[in-house]
Chain A
Amino acid sequence: MRIINKAGGLIYQREFQPGLRKLSTNDYLVLAGTFHGVHAITRTITPKLPLAPPSTSPAVSSPGNTAPATSGYSYPNPGVPTSGLEFLETDKFRLTCFQTLTGTKFLLFTDPLTGSVDTIMNKIYELYADYVMKNPFYQLEMPVRCEAFDRHLGAWLRGRT
């Protein structure tokens, strides 16, 4: 599990189960920075659908009459704010990214078959809020070194499995 702050720096990284390859701290920092950038790009390449009457899908209307519709567009999921990458699936693991309103990103690497990642994520966020943010000695945007957070996180995850 990793936490990336809003500037793209890695502030917490911890492994619960061996499985993924071990990398040097430097590599982890580079990956965190890369992910931060990719996350921003994935948001900008969201497809925009031109606002047109639903009957005139481009296949039907391509000869000509799509032009007036170019002024406005909607996203595929209207009502839901556009977000960056949320789930990434590979052959070996599944990455879940949760971005808080303040821009901190929580990255959770799980087995592809693990269920209820959302609950884990929410619990982690809760613990983070309780033990990191409420820690008077914690400096914002700096690496997390809170023993209580480590302890509770470990205990809670052990209790789940």
Chain B
Amino acid sequence: MPVYSFYIFDRHAECIYKRRWLPRPTSIVGKSSRATDAQAGPTGLGQTVNASDDDAKLVFGTVFSLRNMVRKLGGEEDNFVSYSTSQYKLHYYETPTNIKFVMLTDLKSPSMRIALQQIYINLFVEYVVKNPLSPIEHPGGVGVNNELFEESLEQFVCWLAPFC
């Protein structure tokens, strides 16, 4: 059950954490820049790529519009759990404080709602929120830059997806 990528967005629609488990060239924009990007060094694992990548924005736009759509149709307390296309599946979890957790996996994966909740409770709250040095807001896309969080996320996903 491969996990392709994972994003966290804060309540200001800022992508505060982003991680891909398989390097991939971007779809439309900046094909050339991507190539140099990939050659620049061992990207992929253990790195949060900030800026210069529109994927996160697209993901956020999708998730945000779908969430609003679902709320309009199903009532305020309704929430969307996941959607799938012919190629991948996107899981979504939102905390009461409007922090959004998004994970892209392959089609065969079961519902990841619990897993995302676990990431929030056991990893994000423990290592990021309770860290006195970590900023509360993330203006300018500094993002979560926390070794402990990244390491344990890595472990958690490896445990979920035994391919890596």
A-side residues, CB < 8 A to B, are: 20-21, 23, 27, 31, 34-35, 37-38, 41-50, 57-59, 62-64, 66-67, 70-71, 73, 75-77, 80-93, 109
Contact A70 B34 (CB under 8 A): yes
The 3 closest A-B pairs by CB, nearest first: A59-B164, A47-B4, A83-B86
Q: Tell me, rounded to whole Å, the shortest Cβ–Cβ distance linking A146 to chain B.
A: 25
Contact A67 B38 (CB under 8 A): yes
The reply on B142 being an interface residue by CB < 8 A is no
Encode B1-26 as 1/0 by CB contact (under 8 A) with A. Answer: 01011000000000000000111110
Q: Tell me, rounded to whole Å, the shortest Cβ–Cβ distance linking B117 to chain A.
A: 14
Q: Of B27, B66, B77, which is within 8 A of A45 by CB?
A: B27
Contacts of B24 in A (CB 8 A): 47-50, 73
Contact B78 A67 (CB under 8 A): no
Encode B127-147 as 1/0 by CB contact (under 8 A) with A. Answer: 000000000000000000000
Contacts of A67 in B (CB 8 A): 38-39
CA distance in complex: A35, B108 (Å): 24
- Which of A34, A37, A62 has the largest count of B CB atoms less than 10 A from its CB? A62
Q: How large is the interface on B (under 10, 10 to 19, 20 to 34, 35 or more residues)?
A: 35 or more
Q: Tell me, rounded to whole Å, the shortest Cβ–Cβ distance linking B46 to chain A.
A: 8
Encode B58-90 as 1/0 by CB contact (under 8 A) with A. Answer: 110110011011101111011111111111101
Do A37 and B38 form a contact, CB below 8 Å, given A42-B85, A47-B87, A87-B84? Answer: no
The reply on B126 being an interface residue by CB < 8 A is no
From B89, which residue of chain A is reached at the shortest CB distance? A87
* Pairs across A and B, CB under 8 Å, 11 listed: A27-B72, A31-B72, A41-B62, A45-B58, A58-B44, A58-B164, A63-B42, A70-B35, A83-B87, A88-B83, A90-B79
Q: Of A23, A31, A48, A49, which is within 8 A of B27 by CB?
A: A48
Contacts of A27 in B (CB 8 A): 72
- Which of B83, B104, B158 has the largest count of A CB atoms less than 10 A from its CB? B83
Q: Of B44, B77, B85, which is within 8 A of A43 by CB?
A: B85
Do A45 and B55 form a contact, CB below 8 Å, given A37-B65, A76-B2? Answer: yes
The reply on B114 being an interface residue by CB < 8 A is no
- 14 extra interchain contacts, Cβ-Cβ under 8 A, other than A31-B73, A70-B35, A80-B87? A21-B74, A45-B104, A58-B22, A58-B45, A59-B21, A59-B45, A59-B163, A70-B38, A73-B24, A88-B83, A89-B83, A90-B70, A90-B80, A92-B74
